[in-house]
Amino acid sequence: MTRPATSFEGPAPRAPFADAFVAALRAALPGVAGPVGLHDPHFSGNEWAYVKDCLDTGWVSYNGSYVSRFESMLVDLTGAGSCAAVSSGTVAIEMALRVIGVAAGDEVLSPSLTFVATNNAIAHLGAMPHFIDSESKSLGVDVAKLAGYLDDIAEMTDAGARNRLTGRRLAALLPMHCFGHPVDMDPLLELADRWKIPVVEDAAEAIGSTYKGRPCGSLAPIACLSFNGNKIITTGGGGAILTRDPELGKRLRHLTSTAKTPHAFEFIHDEIGWNYRLPNINAALGCAMLEQLPARLAAKRALQLRYEAAFAGMNHVSILREPSYAKSNYWLAAAILEDGDVAERDALLKAVQEAGFMCRAAWRLNHTLPMYQDCPRMPLETAEAIQPRLVNLPSAPQLLRTEPA
Draw the binding track, 23-52, toward its own copies (x: CB under 8 A; -: no contact): -----------------xxxx---xx--xx
Q: Which residues pair with 225 in a beta bridge?
A: 240
Task: Please pick, from the candidates 7, 63, 136, 157, the single residue that binds its own copies as defined by CB under 8 A.
Answer: 63
User: Which span sits near its own copies by CB under 8 A: 133-141, 301-309, 318-326, 354-362?
Assistant: 354-362
Residue type, 360: R
Question: CB 78 → its own copies: shortest distance, Å?
Answer: 22
CA neighbor of 376 nearest in space, from 198, 152, 220: 152
Instruction: Restricting to residues 158-197, name those near its own copies by CB under 8 A.
Output: none
Q: Does 65 interact with its own copies (rule: CB under 8 A)?
A: no
User: What DSSP string describes 269-282?
Assistant: B-S-----BPPHHH
Q: Does 268 interact with its own copies (rule: CB under 8 A)?
A: yes
Instruction: Restricting to residues 109-138, name those near its own copies by CB under 8 A.
Output: 115-117, 120, 123-124, 126
Q: Does 244 interact with its own copies (rule: CB under 8 A)?
A: no
User: Which span sits near its own copies by CB under 8 A: 105-113, 154-162, 294-302, 345-353?
Assistant: 345-353
Question: CB 115 → its own copies: shortest distance, Å?
Answer: 7
User: Which span sits near its own copies by CB under 8 A: 69-77, 243-251, 314-322, 352-360?
Assistant: 352-360
Range 64-68 contact pairs with CB under 8 angstroms and sequence separation of 24 or more: 64/279, 64/280, 64/281, 64/283, 64/284, 65/280, 66/280, 66/281, 66/283, 66/284, 66/286, 66/287, 67/277, 67/278, 67/279, 67/280, 67/283
Q: Does 256 interact with its own copies (rule: CB under 8 A)?
A: no
Instruction: Restricting to residues 304-323, name those near its own copies by CB under 8 A.
Output: none
Question: CB 75 → its own copies: shortest distance, Å?
Answer: 22
Contact 393, 332 (CB under 8 A): yes
Contact 239, 226 (CB under 8 A): yes
Question: CB 104 → its own copies: shortest distance, Å?
Answer: 7
CA neighbor of 383 nearest in space, from 95, 134, 103: 134
Q: Distance between CA atoms of 85 and 377, rounded to whole angstroms? A: 32
Residue 60: exposed, middle, or buried by beta-carbon count in 10 A (0-12, 13-18, 19+)? middle
Task: Please pick, from the candidates 17, 21, 62, 331, the single residue that binds its own copies as defined by CB under 8 A.
Answer: 62
Task: Please pick, from the candidates 209, 282, 304, 328, the single residue that binds its own copies as defined by CB under 8 A.
Answer: 282
Q: Does 66 interact with its own copies (rule: CB under 8 A)?
A: no
Contact 376, 128 (CB under 8 A): yes
Task: Please pick, from the candidates 18, 22, 29, 91, the single residue that binds its own copies as defined by CB under 8 A.
Answer: 91
Instruction: Restricting to residues 370-389, name those near its own copies by CB under 8 A.
Output: 370-371
Q: Does 266 interact with its own copies (rule: CB under 8 A)?
A: yes
Q: Distance between CA atoms of 47 and 27, rounded to whole angstroms? A: 32
Q: Where are the alpha helices (DSSP H) in 268-325?
A: 280-291, 293-311
CA neighbor of 11 nearest in space, from 259, 263, 349, 389: 349
Number of residues that bind its own copies (CB under 8 A): 73
Residues in the chain: 405
Task: Please pick, from the candidates 90, 110, 112, 329, the single residue that binds its own copies as defined by CB under 8 A.
Answer: 90
Question: CB 41 → its own copies: shortest distance, Å?
Answer: 4
